[in-house]
Amino acid sequence: MLPAIDTHLHVWDLQANAYAWLDQASALLQRSFLLPEIAPQLAGAGVQKVILVQAANHLGDTDYMLAQAARTPWVGGVVGWLPLLEPGLAQAELDRYGRNAHFKGVRHLIHDEVNPRWLLQPPVLESLHLLAQTGLHYEVVGTPVHLRCALAVAEQIPQLPLVLDHLCTPRLGESWDEWRDLLAALARHPQVYIKISGLGTVLNKGALWGATDVEEMVGYALAQFGPARAMAGGDWPVALLAGEYGAAWANYRQALATLLPPTEQAQVLWQTAAGFYRLAGG
* Percentage of the chain exceeding pLDDT 90: 96
pLDDT of residue 171: 87
pLDDT of residue 280: 77
Q: In which band, very low, low, confident or very high, does the pLDDT at 281 lie, cut at 50, 70 and 90?
A: low
Q: Is residue 10 within 8 Å of 33, Cβ to Cβ?
A: yes
pLDDT of residue 173: 80
Q: Give 112-131 pLDDT, tens digit per residue.
A: 999 999 999 999 999 999 99
β-pairing, 192-196 vs 230-232, is parallel
Q: Give 129-144 pLDDT, tens digit per residue.
A: 999 999 999 999 999 9
Burial class (CB in 10 A: 0-12, 13-18, 19+), 86: middle
- pLDDT > 70? residue 282: no
Max CA pair span of the chain: 48
* Percentage of the chain exceeding pLDDT 70: 99
**Across the chain, what does the average pLDDT equal?**
97
C-alpha dist (Å) from residue 77 to 63, 123, 184, 241: 12, 26, 29, 25
The span from the CA of 178 to the CA of 265, in Å, is 27
The span from the CA of 155 to the CA of 159, in Å, is 10
Q: Give 40-73 pLDDT, tens digit per residue.
A: 999 999 999 999 999 999 999 999 999 999 999 9
- The secondary element (H helix, E strand) that includes residue 163 is strand 162-164
Q: Give 168-223 pLDDT, tens digit per residue.
A: 999 878 889 999 999 999 999 999 999 999 999 999 899 999 999 999 999 999 99
Q: Does domain 4-276 have CATH number 2.40.110.10?
A: no
